[in-house]
Amino acid sequence: MSYMPSPPRPSDRVIARVRKRLAARIEETGIPIARLARRAGVSKVTVHRILNDSPTNDFFVGTLANLADALLIDVQELFEPLPDEDDGASGSVKEATLLAIGDEAEPGGDSN
């Protein structure tokens, strides 16, 4: 049995950024959460957990990519700095890449 280290965790700033951008796009499009979840192939619970500051903070880039596709945006838009963030937030691409490392281990289906 080999030891597999946990993937790096994104910073709280990146998690907050993803939540804000995702919520803004959902509001902008007016898509109901249930419809978005169906289109993305995830449960409504998963969408709510991502949006509502779930204590787990464990969401995979694959899940975010599916949500972005359902919202007709590129997943990278979710990781771009918000207008109210300082220029020091530009490390988001690196953090997003680190977050993606664990994506391949995402279990099939939606257990959240």
Ordered domains of the chain (ranges, CATH): 12-103 (1.10.260.40)
CB 99 within 8 A of CB 15: no
Report the sign of the C-alpha dihedral through residues 63, 108, 57, 38, in that order. positive
CA distances from 43 to 22, 48, 60, 111 (A): 16, 9, 14, 8
pLDDT digits (tens, 9 = 90+) for 7-43: 556 677 888 888 899 999 999 999 999 999 999 999 9
Q: Is the pTM of this model over 0.75?
A: no
